[in-house]
A and B are shown apart, each in its own frame.
Chain A
């Protein structure tokens, strides 16, 4: 039987943070995730690395945690963080008294909030509403790439012996006399069921924590709280732009790589699997957004997406916006199950701190006295400038740094070598996000790449303007050649599920340019390639002959 000292359940930022922390302390840890990594709230969010400004009035403890972790993330996750800075803007319709409380809250929480003149604000953010914006402050917000951060967490964990199994769902716990012996899992592709022996298991399943708890017979108060976001095709803002008012829907704009994300809403939903979005939600977000950016409707929407915040609800606690964004650790020994922990709640910005606190408790149990080092050691080494310079010759322009941060030192080196020696590998699979065939092939070969969407999350293929229109076919073809044989051989299914994933986020925004784009996609795949009746077509041909 496979064995680990600790099994971490859930491949979100929290779980990955725990895997890394434990591995660095020399604890043999294995992470299981029923889907691909960061498939829940850790990627389905606005990509904001909080300065804490958003919590400065309501929850100063969270605010203080944010500003400390913000600085740590910039240091250890340098290539995941875009230090674009943040701006808080109060509009004419917002409460002036709140501004006063906020300035004081920031000062008390140790968040540097620098007032700037409106002229400066409009210079920094030319698209801000001259009509509505009344005051502005700069804060040390930043944008953070949840995908990239998670892959780097794995790379870091693996260096210290950490293991990861994706598409591996927990289906039960093996306990003897109230003591945990192992975790029962099922491989999502093969259906194979087996047990992984362990002393301790950590339920870090986020929105799914209650389901995992149920398998062990323990109750966990977690309320999935759906937040819907809109991705725009361009950089509309240069900074993270927040509304200076009591936190509400649609009041954060984050420049995120080549796009801008506007979010979010807050809606209690029965299931964390509910990542649906609707035209009404989009409309309501835009309505609020255009108070800050009057010409918002002129910008093309790429897609919408939604994720569920796993809000921790202590017995009798509030839900929705009033629920705490803090986190909780539960030792289920109190429920009569020794060896199982649950960690729930919190936010992406503070995932490292959450992991540290969780691991401190685990290590106490394990009599491991190694101190936590996750705040000091960078996640990955930086790609040497010499490698980047060499890469420039073969990479598309504007592509070197992005690819270097996505791939990390070793993979980047391999990709550059391929580009050097095989000119045909220089062709672009994804023209919108500038992704070369060499990079896609490299990622297809990874042991976590089972479907094309897994490759998408790591390379950004299909995440740009055309939303998979041109790269779906190419990516599925490359995957068929270089991916895991068991799943890659069904290339038509792989391509369809990839396109369906893209369309899911497009359907609620089928308007204007987005609609035109989608009609072209439909024409290419449904008419020219007839992907939905290719089989039938062939059968018909057979019948006729």
Chain B
């Protein structure tokens, strides 16, 4: 028996309640019965009758519970598996379908000439006209604007010198469709460190948005596809590196927790978060420390999904190599958006309530810039404070 698959980890629960004490959603909304009950405790009860725990809907999959658990229970994944069960018998709402399939939507839009431009206009119009709100989306938010050209399409135009040391970049949907400048920075940094960056067009969305909205079968297809690709690269000795923390968590941990196949574990060994990879180069003495001083102070919001990887704070470590750079962690908990959670109309307020502490911290403005590795965290901070954060790799790129 694979003890690591989530459904088996429930047996480890000591009922200690550490997960409930650390759940940001519980702190924000009293209707949520909390990770312990909804996850491992109910896991023992599912046999007893056909029933639905309505408050499961509140779980944002931020994984604070998993990190708090002293016994290694994959609480949030138990919740996601249960959510998938719910959708076996219930129809998805339209906005859930939209939020789960950002990749599909972006592809559609790009098939239309000037599609991105039009859709961005459409989205700001949509916000003004209340269309999103009517769809069940958070009307208060700007929808992430599409980049004119997807990063993967723009990629061949980026000039790189062919070298032996190669890595494959897993772009992630958000960087590919919305923030290609992060991708460019990633390539600049990796090139400076003697790595040629490859792109694998066969990679699909990691599946994180699918999992949280209960499209588990579809997520499984993505997992099978991506894992086959990762293993293929592994056989060639080429690591897969991603600047998106939710993607890397999915590829490294969640696939295995959800589906429990051994090859998912094997694939995970070949996946690195961008700064984790750089830190590894540093440990080997291969990191290029020929960095221009920047003389800036940064406030670092550490994404939940980075914390869950238990790899420390490699971005802080690396950025502090730059002359005059000071990185302070915000230490203000979850930002509240948790992927597409905060984009739902019924979760908007909760999401903002969870983020309030972070917003307050950011608004102190005792720094030059806010940095965060996660795309949706950056959006949330921007929305909550009107201060636009950047990916730490963009800072590092400036130093080369």
Instruction: Give me the interface of A with B, judged by CB distance under 8 Å.
Output: 127, 233-235, 238, 255, 257-259, 295, 298-300, 396-402, 428, 431-432, 434, 464-466, 469-470, 513, 516-517, 520
21 chain-A/chain-B pairs, Cβ below 8 angstroms: A234-B10, A234-B11, A234-B44, A238-B47, A255-B47, A258-B44, A258-B45, A295-B1, A298-B8, A397-B53, A398-B42, A398-B51, A428-B37, A464-B41, A465-B15, A465-B44, A469-B14, A470-B15, A513-B14, A516-B71, A517-B14
- Asked whether B165 is an interface residue with its Cβ less than 8 Å from the other chain, the reply is no
**Beta-carbon contact of B41 and A432 below 8 Å:** yes
In the complex, chain A residues whose CB is within 8 Å of the CB of B8: 298
Chain B nearest Cβ from A527, distance in angstroms: 14
In the complex, chain A residues whose CB is within 8 Å of the CB of B49: 398, 400-402
- Asked whether B294 is an interface residue with its Cβ less than 8 Å from the other chain, the reply is no
Complexed CA–CA distance, A516 and B43 (Å):
20
Name which residue of chain A comes closest to B46, CB basis: A398
Convert B7-28 into 0s and 1s, putting 1 for each residue whose CB lies closer than 8 angstroms to a CB of A. 0101111111100000000000
In the complex, chain B residues whose CB is within 8 Å of the CB of A464: 41, 44
In the complex, chain A residues whose CB is within 8 Å of the CB of B10: 234
- Asked whether B161 is an interface residue with its Cβ less than 8 Å from the other chain, the reply is no
User: Which of the residues A127, A257, A295, A397 comes within 8 Å of B42, measured between beta carbons?
Assistant: A397
- Do A434 and B45 form a contact, CB below 8 Å, given A397-B53, A513-B11, A520-B16? yes
Chain B nearest Cβ from A375, distance in angstroms: 28
In the complex, chain A residues whose CB is within 8 Å of the CB of B37: 396, 428, 431
Name which residue of chain A comes closest to B20, CB basis: A431
Complexed CA–CA distance, A517 and B37 (Å):
17
In the complex, chain B residues whose CB is within 8 Å of the CB of A235: 44, 47
- Do A233 and B51 form a contact, CB below 8 Å, given A398-B45, A513-B71? no
- Asked whether B297 is an interface residue with its Cβ less than 8 Å from the other chain, the reply is no
Tell me the count of chain B residues lying within 8 A, CB to CB, of chain A: 29
User: Which of the residues A255, A298, A397, A466 comes within 8 Å of B54, measured between beta carbons?
Assistant: A397
In the complex, chain A residues whose CB is within 8 Å of the CB of B3: 298
In the complex, chain A residues whose CB is within 8 Å of the CB of B40: 465
In the complex, chain A residues whose CB is within 8 Å of the CB of B11: 233-234, 299-300, 513
User: Which of the residues B12, B17, B48 comes within 8 Å of A257, measured between beta carbons?
Assistant: B48
User: Which of the residues A295, A402, A466 comes within 8 Å of B48, measured between beta carbons?
Assistant: A402
A-B residue pairs, 3 tightest by C-beta: A466-B15, A398-B45, A397-B53
- Asked whether B52 is an interface residue with its Cβ less than 8 Å from the other chain, the reply is yes
- Asked whether B67 is an interface residue with its Cβ less than 8 Å from the other chain, the reply is no
Chain B nearest Cβ from A405, distance in angstroms: 10
In the complex, chain A residues whose CB is within 8 Å of the CB of B391: none
In the complex, chain B residues whose CB is within 8 Å of the CB of A255: 47
Instruction: Give me the interface of B with A, judged by CB distance under 8 Å.
Output: 1, 3, 8, 10-17, 33, 36-37, 40-49, 51-54, 71
Complexed CA–CA distance, A398 and B50 (Å):
8
User: Which of the residues A238, A298, A300 comes within 8 Å of B1, measured between beta carbons?
Assistant: A298
In the complex, chain A residues whose CB is within 8 Å of the CB of B42: 397-398
User: Which of the residues B13, B16, B53 comes within 8 Å of A398, measured between beta carbons?
Assistant: B53
Complexed CA–CA distance, A465 and B45 (Å):
12
Complexed CA–CA distance, A434 and B42 (Å):
9
Chain B nearest Cβ from A518, distance in angstroms: 10
Name which residue of chain A comes closest to B16, CB basis: A520
- Do A520 and B36 form a contact, CB below 8 Å, given A258-B48, A432-B44? no
Chain A nearest Cβ from B178, distance in angstroms: 38
**Beta-carbon contact of A431 and B41 below 8 Å:** yes
Name which residue of chain A comes closest to B47, CB basis: A235
Chain B nearest Cβ from A498, distance in angstroms: 16
**Beta-carbon contact of A434 and B15 below 8 Å:** no
**Beta-carbon contact of B44 and A401 below 8 Å:** no
Complexed CA–CA distance, A233 and B14 (Å):
11
- Do A396 and B33 form a contact, CB below 8 Å, given A235-B44, A258-B44, A516-B71? yes
**Taking each of B15, B36, B54, which has the highest tally of chain A beta carbons within 10 Å of its own beta carbon?**
B15
Name which residue of chain B comes closest to A259, CB basis: B44
In the complex, chain A residues whose CB is within 8 Å of the CB of B54: 397
Complexed CA–CA distance, A483 and B197 (Å):
72
In the complex, chain A residues whose CB is within 8 Å of the CB of B52: 397
Complexed CA–CA distance, A348 and B12 (Å):
33
- Do A400 and B15 form a contact, CB below 8 Å, given A432-B41, A465-B44? no
Complexed CA–CA distance, A401 and B51 (Å):
10
In the complex, chain B residues whose CB is within 8 Å of the CB of A513: 11-12, 14, 71
Complexed CA–CA distance, A385 and B69 (Å):
39
In the complex, chain B residues whose CB is within 8 Å of the CB of A428: 37
In the complex, chain B residues whose CB is within 8 Å of the CB of A517: 14-15
In the complex, chain A residues whose CB is within 8 Å of the CB of B45: 258, 398-399, 434
User: Which of the residues B13, B17, B48 comes within 8 Å of A465, measured between beta carbons?
Assistant: B13
Complexed CA–CA distance, A257 and B3 (Å):
23
Complexed CA–CA distance, A25 and B36 (Å):
50
Name which residue of chain B comes closest to A402, CB basis: B48
Chain B nearest Cβ from A308, distance in angstroms: 29
Complexed CA–CA distance, A207 and B220 (Å):
56
Name which residue of chain B comes closest to A470, CB basis: B15
Complexed CA–CA distance, A397 and B53 (Å):
5
Name which residue of chain B comes closest to A521, CB basis: B14
In the complex, chain A residues whose CB is within 8 Å of the CB of B44: 233-235, 258-259, 432, 464-465
In the complex, chain A residues whose CB is within 8 Å of the CB of B1: 127, 295, 298
- Do A520 and B14 form a contact, CB below 8 Å, given A295-B1, A513-B71? yes
Complexed CA–CA distance, A397 and B3 (Å):
27
**Taking each of B1, B8, B17, B41, which has the highest tally of chain A beta carbons within 10 Å of its own beta carbon?**
B41
Name which residue of chain B comes closest to A469, CB basis: B15
Chain A nearest Cβ from B52, distance in angstroms: 6
Chain B nearest Cβ from A247, distance in angstroms: 27
In the complex, chain B residues whose CB is within 8 Å of the CB of A397: 42, 51-54
**Taking each of A431, A465, A517, which has the highest tally of chain B beta carbons within 10 Å of its own beta carbon?**
A465
Chain A nearest Cβ from B208, distance in angstroms: 26
Complexed CA–CA distance, A298 and B8 (Å):
9
Chain A nearest Cβ from B167, distance in angstroms: 38
**Beta-carbon contact of B14 and A258 below 8 Å:** no
**Beta-carbon contact of B17 and A470 below 8 Å:** yes
Name which residue of chain A comes closest to B34, CB basis: A431
Name which residue of chain A comes closest to B36, CB basis: A431
Name which residue of chain B comes closest to A512, CB basis: B12
In the complex, chain B residues whose CB is within 8 Å of the CB of A238: 47
Chain B nearest Cβ from A434, distance in angstroms: 7
Chain A nearest Cβ from B291, distance in angstroms: 46
In the complex, chain A residues whose CB is within 8 Å of the CB of B15: 431-432, 465-466, 469-470, 517
Chain B nearest Cβ from A392, distance in angstroms: 8
Complexed CA–CA distance, A399 and B17 (Å):
20
In the complex, chain B residues whose CB is within 8 Å of the CB of A401: 48-49
In the complex, chain B residues whose CB is within 8 Å of the CB of A233: 11, 44
Name which residue of chain A comes closest to B56, CB basis: A397
Complexed CA–CA distance, A401 and B36 (Å):
21
Complexed CA–CA distance, A234 and B12 (Å):
11
Complexed CA–CA distance, A527 and B286 (Å):
51
For the A-B complex with A397-B51, A432-B44 known, give 20 more contacts whose Cβ atoms are closer than 8 Å.
A233-B11, A233-B44, A235-B44, A257-B48, A298-B1, A300-B11, A396-B37, A397-B52, A398-B45, A398-B49, A398-B51, A432-B41, A434-B45, A464-B41, A464-B44, A465-B44, A469-B14, A470-B15, A513-B12, A513-B14
Complexed CA–CA distance, A527 and B14 (Å):
18
**Taking each of A295, A397, A520, which has the highest tally of chain B beta carbons within 10 Å of its own beta carbon?**
A397
In the complex, chain A residues whose CB is within 8 Å of the CB of B16: 520
In the complex, chain A residues whose CB is within 8 Å of the CB of B43: 234
Complexed CA–CA distance, A470 and B11 (Å):
17
Name which residue of chain B comes closest to A255, CB basis: B47
In the complex, chain A residues whose CB is within 8 Å of the CB of B48: 257-258, 398, 401-402
Complexed CA–CA distance, A300 and B44 (Å):
12
Complexed CA–CA distance, A402 and B42 (Å):
13
In the complex, chain B residues whose CB is within 8 Å of the CB of A402: 48-49
Name which residue of chain B comes closest to A232, CB basis: B11
- Do A466 and B46 form a contact, CB below 8 Å, given A298-B8, A397-B51, A431-B37? no
